[in-house]
Amino acid sequence: MNRRLFLATKFALLLALAAFTNFVSAHDRWDDGNDQGGGSRALQGRHEKVSPKARLYDARGTVIGDVIYVGGIDYDGGVLLNFSGVLVFAGFSRAGGYQTNDALSNSEFVWQYPQLAYSNPNCTGTPYIYYDGGPYRPSAIERKGNTATLYIAKDTLSQTVTMGSSIGGYGSCYAGAPVYVSKAWSVESTVDLTQLFPEPLRIGR
């Protein structure tokens, strides 16, 4: 009788140990992103661990840089570019916008931030750079059709200037100076971003 009780107890302990082992194994698979059945059913297949850094690639597959964010709105991210030792921010947004009736791409991006200001209406006249977010040299991007030009500010103090218009998202032109802006920088140099880093841009790791 005692032997049968001992065997039954031993068998129950083995079953409990096996159940615990299976639970731990399943939990580890979930943590490693390898779960094939649990969790969300929207995306099936093997999940790989994501790198802490997202990188921006141009249309040729060239790595442009790590994706970063600075102050401001109306953009999805940006990269830090180095031109002869001068660090500038260049932002991007999802491809589409008003050109596609506000339909946006889920994976393709275009250069378009920060915006540029002009001395005259209709986005004409002398260009000015008014955006000063981040610790880098102030910069701006002008979109004309499929061409995005990066403007880099002079290494001087900003000055009070008359601004008659400014470029908005995706190349649209707005009358008057941007809200709460009165000072800006003159332009030191320009870079054709779409020639240097062709669109569409993509995010990878």
Which pLDDT belongs to residue 30?
40
- Asked if residue 160 and residue 92 are part of one domain, the reply reads yes
Sign of the alpha-carbon dihedral angle for 68, 109, 55, 36: positive
Separation of alpha carbons 138 and 80, rounded Å: 12
Give pLDDT, residue 120.
95
Q: What integer pLDDT is reported at residue 133 of this predicted model? A: 77
Amino acid at site 74: D
Query: Are 102 and 186 members of one domain?
Result: yes
Q: What pLDDT does residue 131 have?
A: 83
The number of folded domains in the chain is: 2
17 and 63 co-located in one domain: no
pLDDT along the chain (205 residues), means of 10: 54 54 45 44 57 89 94 85 96 76 80 91 94 88 91 96 84 81 93 97 93
- CA 13 and chain centroid, separation: 53
- Shared-domain flag, residues 103 and 197: yes
- Same domain? For 178 and 83 the reply is yes
For residues 126 and 42, membership in a common domain is answered with: no
The answer to whether residues 112 and 159 belong to one domain is: yes
Q: Residues 26, 88: one domain? A: no
Looking at the fold, whether 95 and 120 belong to one and the same domain comes out as: yes
Identify the domain containing residue 41 by its residue range.
1-49
Q: What is the pLDDT of residue 35?
A: 43
Distance separating alpha carbons of residues 60 and 176, to the nearest angstrom = 38
The answer to whether residues 45 and 62 belong to one domain is no
Within a 10 A sphere around the Cβ of 78, how many other Cβ atoms?
A: 27
Among 13, 28, 49, the domain-final residue is: 49
Give residue 185's pLDDT: 96
Same domain, 45 and 92: no
